């Protein structure tokens, strides 16, 4: 997050004659650091939240006066990880759960003032971020202690393999973009949109299943991806 850039944005938006009417803000910036909770250094936790949560809040605060003047819209790109947190997804999912909560509060604050807030929750989407996910997970795993690698090595390999398979079957980025455009332009937008059948399914399951049953379903989906040997 660059506070100086955000300050310049706010200054420019103060003058509608220069910037024009601001109708919508789409918050899409994110990084994904997959790691067991125990093993991820606090500095990396803070970096994850700085980009995925605090950056969104800062970029929302700056143009809100302009959005209020023109009955605009805020669209926050969350994730199915903002509904269900799989093993090793704690840092990323933590930011997305938090973003969903902030979005709910913001929606209730701004609805009487004429600004609508929408959350988009993608499942697997084929993007450059997806390609970087496994590389980053392996980098973080390499920095773990021998004891942590012994505890979590096979789990990390399984989640990496599961992610790679899931991403290959994911929705093209242009399909996700069309749905985001709908969230921006719909006359009466829903409060939430899911992207992809996987996101729709897991969102429904998370609403109706007990936690332990959902745990078993997620574990069963991960089981075929476990390696026969532990991570070196």
Instruction: Based on the residue annotation, tell me whether 92 is a catalytic residue of this protein.
Output: yes
Structure tokens at 213: 């049953």
User: How far is Cα 130 from Cα 183, in angstroms, rounded to an integer?
Assistant: 23
Angle at which helices 42-49 and 90-110 cross, to 10° = 30
Residues in the chain: 232
User: How far is Cα 8 from Cα 38, in angstroms, rounded to an integer?
Assistant: 39
Query: Residue 103: how many CB atoms within 10 A of its CB?
Result: 23
User: How far is Cα 164 from Cα 170, in angstroms, rounded to an integer?
Assistant: 10
User: How far is Cα 69 from Cα 71, in angstroms, rounded to an integer?
Assistant: 6
Strands (E), the chain: 24-27, 73-77, 116-122, 125-126, 171-172, 192-195
- Burial of residue 41 (number of CB atoms within 10 Å: 0-12, 13-18, 19+): exposed
57 contacts 95 by C-beta, under 8 angstroms: no
Q: Which of 92, 152, 193, 226 is catalytic?
A: 92
User: How far is Cα 189 from Cα 194, in angstroms, rounded to an integer?
Assistant: 13
Q: Which residues are catalytic?
A: 92
């Amino acid at each position: 997050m660059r506070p100086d850039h955000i300050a310049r944005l706010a200054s420019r938006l103060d003058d509608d004659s220069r910037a024009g009417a601001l109708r919508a803000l789409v918050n899409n910036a994110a990084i994904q650091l997959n790691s067991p909770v125990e093993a991820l250094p606090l500095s990396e936790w803070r970096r994850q939240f700085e980009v995925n949560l605090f950056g969104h809040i800062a970029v929302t605060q700056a143009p809100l006066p302009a959005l209020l003047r023109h009955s605009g819209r805020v669209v926050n790109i969350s994730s199915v990880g903002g509904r269900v947190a799989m093993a090793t997804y704690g840092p990323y999912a933590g930011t997305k759960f938090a973003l969903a909560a902030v979005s709910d509060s913001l929606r209730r604050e701004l609805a009487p003032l004429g600004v609508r807030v929408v959350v988009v929750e993608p499942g697997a989407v084929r993007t450059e971020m997806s390609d970087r996910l496994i590389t980053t997970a392996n980098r973080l795993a390499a920095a773990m202690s021998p004891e942590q690698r012994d505890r979590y090595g096979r789990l990390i390999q399984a989640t990496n393999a599961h992610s790679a398979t899931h991403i290959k079957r994911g929705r093209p980025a242009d399909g996700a973009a069309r749905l985001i455009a709908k969230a921006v332009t719909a006359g009466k937008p829903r409060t939430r949109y899911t992207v992809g059948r996987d996101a729709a399914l897991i969102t429904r399951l998370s609403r109706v299943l007990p936690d332990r049953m959902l745990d078993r379903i997620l574990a069963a989906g991960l089981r075929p991806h476990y390696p026969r040997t532990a991570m070196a």
